[in-house]
Amino acid sequence: MSQQTNWVPTSVDLEKPSAARAYDYVLGGNHNFQVDRDFIEQVMHRQPEARRFAIMNRAFMRRAVLFMVERGIRQFLDLGSGIPTVGNVHEIAQEADPTARVVYVDNEHVAVAHSQLILEHNENATMVQADITRPRLVLNDPETRRLLDFDQPIGLLAITIGHYVLADQDPVGVFASYRDALAPGSYLALTHLTADFDEAKGSELTELMEQTQNSIIMRTREQVLELFGDFEFVEPGLVTTAQWRPEGEAPDPSLNDGLWAGVARKS
The DSSP bridge pattern shows strands 101-106 and 155-159 to be: unpaired
Give the per-residue pLDDT at 8: 56
Element (H, E) at 37: helix 34-46
CA angle, 134 then 140 then 143, to 5°: 110
The predicted-structure confidence for 174-199, as pLDDT tens digits, reads as follows 999 999 999 999 999 999 999 888 65
Q: CB pairs under 8 A, 24+ apart, for 2-6?
A: 3/33, 3/34
**What fold characterizes domain 19-244+254-265?**
Rossmann fold (3.40.50)
The DSSP call for residue 161 is: -
pLDDT at 127 over 90: yes
Average pLDDT over residues 106-126: 87
pLDDT at 255 over 90: no
The predicted-structure confidence for 78-94, as pLDDT tens digits, reads as follows 999 887 666 789 999 99
pLDDT band at 212 (very low <50, low <70, confident <90, very high): low
pLDDT band at 12 (very low <50, low <70, confident <90, very high): low
Give the per-residue pLDDT at 1: 39
The predicted-structure confidence for 61-74, as pLDDT tens digits, reads as follows 999 999 999 999 99
Domain extents for the chain?
19-244+254-265
SS3 34: helix
**pTM of the shown model:** 0.85
pLDDT at 145 over 80: yes
The DSSP bridge pattern shows strands 155-159 and 187-193 to be: parallel
SS3 46: helix
The DSSP bridge pattern shows strands 101-106 and 75-79 to be: parallel
pLDDT at 9 over 60: no
Average pLDDT over residues 46-71: 88
The DSSP call for residue 94 is: H
pLDDT band at 216 (very low <50, low <70, confident <90, very high): confident
